[in-house]
Chains A and B, each alone.
Chain A
Amino acid sequence: MNRLLSFVGTLLVLGFIASNHLVFAQDHEGDTHSNHEHKHHTDEAHSHNEGAHQEQGDSAVVHDGDYGHHDAHDGLHHDQAHEEAGHHEEGFVAGTFIIHHIADAHEIHLFGDVHIPLPVILYVDGGLEMFMSSAFHGHGHGDRHFKDEETGIDYILYAEDGSYSLKNEAGEEVERTYTAGSIAAFKSDERLDVLDLSITKSVFGMLFILSLMVWLFISIANSYQKRPGQAPSGLANALEPLILFIRDEIAKPSIGARAEQFTPFLLTVFFFIFFCNLLGLIPFLGGFNITGTIGVTIVLAFLVFVLTTINGNKHYWTHIVWPPGVPNAIKLILVPIEILSVFMKPTVLMIRLTANISAGHIVILAFTSLVFIFSGPGGEAVLAGTGVGVFSTLFMIFMYFLELLVAFLQAFVFTLLAAIYFGEATHQPTHH
């Protein structure tokens, strides 16, 4: 009982700190963001940025070309930009702020202007280029630039989604899009193909969790081997219920005879998702959103797809390709649906996990945003901001509890459904 109370107490404190931390962090960023975005999307911004570039040297030509694309062929985009700029004049745009915080980044934002730089690794121009993300100039000032003097390559870290046009081999203009947070490289006015292999925030968090799991579970395995046949202690004692839960409540009932073969995968997936979700709930650590990053969940879903496909037995494929006991006319409808479902199932796993974890972060960030919305564009309405802040903090504490539940629930749901798919693929019918 005491432990439970202290746990709840810690959580309350954490929730409170988190909300304050976000409030503090955003105090800075909200302002700078609105400034730069406003500038960026107006002509004034162009001149500003170009001016900054000319100071850097001859790279200005490159960006001139780049911006030229914006102006020349994307009138719609430009209009949108103006419209957005109109909103920005109000001071704080919750949507931009939230998306910025749940999206992957090339650095870990702790608070205020404090960032932990992460290594940027690019496969560009036929070679690997490596530098720290702190090499990019400026924080929260629109697109960020870095010119590598050695190779003469100019890098841009985009702040917003956008597009450019490209001439393909046939000489036709092809529209290409890029997303906020992606990196482009230019060499003497020419856009280079870039494969971004950077250790981004999500990759860093993922590697951290995976290392933690290797250390944790190998030391648990050793503790079992040191004390054979005895009751578990310490870490093993803490995690054994979860391990048994995966084995006895998920793997065995869902898969049956071949459960043992899939248990290692299910255990790894479960603990990976669960720990990543929990890491994302720790405030002051940059708000990791690993399992809300589609690049991570797509891999998990793809592995489920591969394991289901290569382990599918004759019975499984027969029921998909030529379901027995079904009239031919209905087969015409059923077979495409069944074949589609083979791909849909892992896709839905991916979307469910990504959306749920991102949604939790979005709700918490939205309640943080309320404070800025109510305190006015310049933060004049102190009383309103404070009042809403108290309400937001209370609601965020509630949300943190909910998110703790969701952290477990989504890991459980992903693992359970993966196990059910494996079970379907390997099920040996007794009739027939």
Chain B
Amino acid sequence: MGALLTPAWGTVIWASIAFIAVLLLLRRFAWGPIMTALNDREASIAGALNEAEKVRKEMADLAASNENLLKEARAERDRMMREARDMADQMVADAKGKAREAADKEIATAKEAIAIERKTAVAELKAEVGNLSIEIAERLLREKLESTEDQKALVNRLIDESPLN
């Protein structure tokens, strides 16, 4: 039992020297580089994850801005189409107005011309009637107008003979 419970000095000396030597050796040549490598890798993984997150956000932003751009473009197109339609309507309306005006003027001119024609015709008729009346009166005067009956018959005959129609 004594051998189990009593530390042997030789073992203690060997263990101290060997363990401390290995501890220092490993700290310098193993644990140091391993820890550095692990930390570097963790940092690079964390960096890569952050980068990925950033890129994802950027992509989302880009998608949103594309959407906005598309919306604006659509609004622009709608506006342009509306303007074009308005302009066309305007042009048609203008054209119609001008056409009506032209037509009205034409009609007015025609009416004027007709009125002038009529006046001329009436004036000519009046002159004709006057001439005719004078002629009739001449003839009456030349013939012997004995009775009223005769006078009346004469007038009618004269009217009938006149080239009024």
Question: For residue B21, which residue of chain A has the nearest CB?
Answer: A210
Are the C-beta atoms of A210 and B14 separated by less than 8 Å? no
Are the C-beta atoms of A161 and B1 separated by less than 8 Å? yes
Are the C-beta atoms of B9 and A206 separated by less than 8 Å? no
Which residues of chain B come closer than 8 Å to A198, judged between CB atoms?
A: 10
Given contacts A177-B2, A179-B2, whether A221 and B16 have CB atoms under 8 Å apart is no
Are the C-beta atoms of A299 and B3 separated by less than 8 Å? no
Are the C-beta atoms of B29 and A181 separated by less than 8 Å? no
Given contacts A294-B4, A294-B6, whether A197 and B19 have CB atoms under 8 Å apart is no
Question: For residue B9, which residue of chain A has the nearest CB?
Answer: A195
* Contact mask for chain B residues 107-125; partner A; CB cutoff 8 A; 1 contact, 0 none: 0000000000000000000
* Contact mask for chain B residues 26-43; partner A; CB cutoff 8 A; 1 contact, 0 none: 110111111101101100
Instruction: Looking at the assembled complex, report how far the CB atom of B26 sits from the nearest CB atom of chain A, in whole angstroms.
Output: 6
Which residues of chain B come closer than 8 Å to A228, judged between CB atoms?
A: 37, 40-41
Question: For residue B41, which residue of chain A has the nearest CB?
Answer: A229
Instruction: Looking at the assembled complex, report how far the CB atom of B2 sits from the nearest CB atom of chain A, in whole angstroms.
Output: 4
* Contact mask for chain A residues 154-185; partner B; CB cutoff 8 A; 1 contact, 0 none: 00000001000000000000000111111000
Which residues of chain B come closer than 8 Å to A203, judged between CB atoms?
A: 10-11, 14-15
Are the C-beta atoms of A210 and B10 separated by less than 8 Å? no
Question: For residue A271, which residue of chain B has the nearest CB?
Answer: B26
Question: Does B18 belong to the interface (CB within 8 Å)?
Answer: yes
Q: Which of A59-67, A262-270, A371-379 contacts B (4 or more CB under 8 A)?
A: A262-270
- Pick 18 A–B contacts, CB within 8 A, sort by A: A99-B1, A104-B3, A104-B8, A195-B10, A196-B10, A200-B10, A203-B11, A207-B14, A210-B19, A214-B26, A217-B31, A218-B26, A218-B29, A224-B34, A225-B33, A265-B23, A295-B12, A298-B7
Which residues of chain B come closer than 8 Å to A202, judged between CB atoms?
A: 11
Count B-side interface residues using an 8 Å CB cutoff: 37
Which residues of chain A come closer than 8 Å to B10, judged between CB atoms?
A: 121, 195-198, 200, 203, 295
Question: Does B84 belong to the interface (CB within 8 Å)?
Answer: no
Instruction: Looking at the assembled complex, report how far the CB atom of A97 sits from the nearest CB atom of chain B, in whole angstroms.
Output: 13
Q: Could you say which of A181, A206, A229, A265 contacts B3, with CB atoms under 8 Å apart?
A: A181
Are the C-beta atoms of B3 and A196 separated by less than 8 Å? no
**Which residue, of B9, B11, B16, has the highest number of chain A Cβ atoms within 10 A?**
B11
Extra A-B contacts (9), CB below 8 Å, given A224-B33, A243-B38: A207-B14, A228-B37, A228-B41, A229-B44, A263-B35, A294-B4, A295-B7, A296-B15, A299-B19
